[in-house]
Chain A
Amino acid sequence: MKRQKGRFGEYGGQYVPETLMGALGELEDAYNTFRDDAGFKDELDTYLREYAGRPSRLYFAENMTRELGGARVYLKREDLNHTGSHKLNNVLGQALLARRMGKTRVIAETGAGQHGVAAATVAALLGMECEIFMGREDTRRQALNVYRMKMLGAGVREVCSGTMTLKDAVNETMREWTRRVSDTHYILGSVMGPHPFPTMVRDFQSVIGREAREQILEREGRLPAAVIACVGGGSNAIGAFYNFIGDVDVRLIGCEAAGRGLDTSEHAATIARGRVGVFHGMKSYFCQDGAGQIAPVYSISAGLDYPGIGPEHSHLHDVGRAEYVPVTDDEAVDAFYWLSRVEGIIPAIESAHAVAYARRLAGGLGTGENIIICLSGRGDKDVAAIARYMGEDIHDE
């Protein structure tokens, strides 16, 4: 009987070239060894607390709540982590694991640059060599983050193949991993790719929901009506959802990038418009054409501009435990400005997708209820791109 590893229903698996299978096996063994190891857990907890600044706050957004006139709105402030997003949770876990595996070099893909910055940061901290692969289109959209990564000592490789965005950065990072697998660990940035990444990354990100669940019970004495997060690959979403999956009355809502609209070809709404396929090491939903060619996708948000979604999300969708809703560029930009002005919090354009949906949802809920929005990152990186979207050039490049 062959192994069927890392499955969420029919999704997941290990669809990668044979050259990588040995490394995935090693990684799985190491993860299984260390995930319950007291020394490893203590080391990770210490870095999460002292370096990342966890636990992140669950902030009661009073002004938002008042404006929306329904459920009490809470923001899980992953934007306040060191490096400005939830990505650090996963990077710390994987880099510490890689170090224990004897790896001296880490590589990573990045879209918006948040994961790349987190990886470059932790590589600097742990004294590891680091190379980040980023689509050329994204290096243009996120020039500030490119410079941050370089300041941190990482090499940044511009990827000029395909659509020159996150998908192509993943392709190139996988190719690089097959070239140099013995001393190198690939810090995959989302709950995607081949097993064990979707499980391991989810475990490292589940600190978000674990904290949020405790915090909301302490503050409100009841569970939220909904937990809302943006979804590209889906790591902040699964991290926020995971500890609520057993709480069947809590709606879990993932917000996909609908770009210029679902009726156009310019979106990245995988659940809404994709179908099942096999790509980037996993069986899951993908935006693709009728012949199984992966579709060029689009979102204003580089972090959501990805044609697939993590396999656990596909499963949660199929079994009806989570809902996935489309949010357009326009709605996200509007929410970006709105949150900035109402609460004095500039969200990442990715996270603004979740804020946008919460605006639709909150008013229809009772004032005794509450909702949690995972504010996965801060928006400083997006200021220049939003200005461009509004037709202004503030010379970021």
Chain B
Amino acid sequence: MSKISDAFRGKKAFVAYIMAGDPSLEKTREYVIALQRAGADVIELGIPFSDPIAEGETIQAANLRAFASGTDIEGIFDMVSSLKGEIGVPLLFMTYLNPVFSYGYGAFFKRCAECGISGVIIPDLPFDESGEVTGYTAANGIELISLIAPTSRERIAHIAKQAEGFVYLVSSLGVTGARSEITTDIAALVASVREHTDIPIAVGFGVHSPQQVARIWESADGVIVGSAIVSVIVERGDAAGPFIGEYVRALTAAKRLQTK
């Protein structure tokens, strides 16, 4: 059974994203623990990339801070390994394809498995090109999270049928980052995905308020928050730990429904 899908079982799930190495790997380790303690059910760790084309300014800046702190992929693997025994929730990597390609697919996903990573999100690897890595992910027990966007339309069926872990439903057009409002009809989009798969559906991009979280939980199985948490880190720097926890608890205050 999938550790990632299991994290959504019997509750509405909260998926948190932070950038590894922002502001340092040591701090990232601390923040991952804080996120789990605050109730995050799945945690995504960004691997910095020079040209993150799916990101808005907040996460672009997080990439730069991660580089500035000397973060590299081996350091990230080591940090994740060191979390064994302390972290029970599934950990995912969010990475662009080129660093993975450059590392070597076989070696990369093997290292992921050794470190206790459960899945990967690769925003510039759409379904049509996923054959690039699926042999390696499957061989190492790593789930490749598929994204579905408001523009996916007839692609939804194909993507949803092969999705594993959970479906990452992109709430809005555009790049990552807080939006004052999400205008997409999320419930309708969730329903159109639900027709084709039983695995959990989580909605992300632009989510930053308790109201948005509650609203998304009405139809989806989970909500994904990234840029808004990263903003707390920007504001609080090395002391962000407690503030991240507080923010996540505030976002999820709408009470997790105990049944789906």
Contact = CB atoms under 8 A, between A and B. Distances in A.
B49 A178 contact: no
A20 B54 CA distance: 10
Nearest to A175: B175
B129 A14 contact: yes
Interface string A18-29: 111111010000
Given A3-B128, A180-B173, A17 B53 contact: yes
B54 A291 contact: no
Contacts of A162: 50-51
Question: Interface extent on A, as a size class?
Answer: 35 or more
A161 to B, nearest CB: 6
Contacts of B151: 18-23, 181
Interface of A: 2-5, 13-23, 25, 161-162, 167-168, 171, 174-175, 178-181, 276-281, 286, 288, 290-294
Most buried by A among B53, B123, B147, B173: B53
Contacts of A167: 51
18 contacts: A17-B123, A18-B123, A19-B151, A19-B174, A21-B155, A22-B151, A162-B50, A162-B51, A175-B56, A175-B175, A277-B102, A278-B97, A278-B124, A279-B51, A280-B51, A281-B124, A291-B72, A292-B101
Given A19-B149, A21-B155, A22-B152, A174 B53 contact: yes
Nearest to A179: B174
A163 to B, nearest CB: 9
A12 to B, nearest CB: 10
Nearest to A294: B50
Interface in B63-110: 72-73, 97-103
Contacts of B149: 17-19, 21-22
A124 B103 CA distance: 46
Contact of B53 (A25, A171, A179, A288): A171
A180 B174 CA distance: 7
Contact of A161 (B60, B101, B148, B150): B60
Contacts of A22: 149, 151-153, 155
B126 A292 contact: no
B243 interface: no
Interface of B: 49-51, 53-54, 56, 60, 72-73, 97-103, 123-131, 147-153, 155, 159, 170, 173-175
A289 B73 CA distance: 13
A276 B23 CA distance: 31
Contacts, number: 118
B51 A15 contact: no
A308 to B, nearest CB: 11
B201 to A, nearest CB: 14
A21 B124 CA distance: 10
A14 B102 contact: no
Nearest to A22: B151
B152 A2 contact: no
Which 10 pairs from chain A and chain B are nearest by CB? Answer: A292-B102, A179-B174, A22-B151, A292-B99, A19-B149, A293-B50, A18-B147, A292-B98, A18-B149, A294-B50
Contacts of B73: 291
A168 to B, nearest CB: 8
A293 B152 CA distance: 29
Contacts of A171: 51, 53
A211 B179 CA distance: 51
A18 B174 CA distance: 11
Most buried by A among B97, B124, B130, B170: B124
B69 to A, nearest CB: 15
Nearest to A275: B102
Contacts of B53: 16-17, 171, 174-175, 280
A276 B98 CA distance: 9
Given A2-B131, A278-B97, A294 B51 contact: yes
Contact of B98 (A13, A17, A19, A279): A279
B216 to A, nearest CB: 18
Given A21-B151, A292-B100, A14 B173 contact: no
Contacts of A161: 60
A178 B148 CA distance: 13
A16 B155 CA distance: 15
Given A162-B50, A162-B51, A277-B98, 7 more contacts: A4-B131, A17-B149, A18-B170, A175-B53, A175-B56, A175-B174, A276-B101
A356 to B, nearest CB: 30
B28 to A, nearest CB: 18
B173 A178 contact: yes
A77 B99 CA distance: 41
Nearest to B158: A2
A387 B101 CA distance: 42
B131 A292 contact: no
A21 B128 contact: yes
A290 B152 CA distance: 35
A279 B124 CA distance: 8
Contacts of A294: 50-51, 98
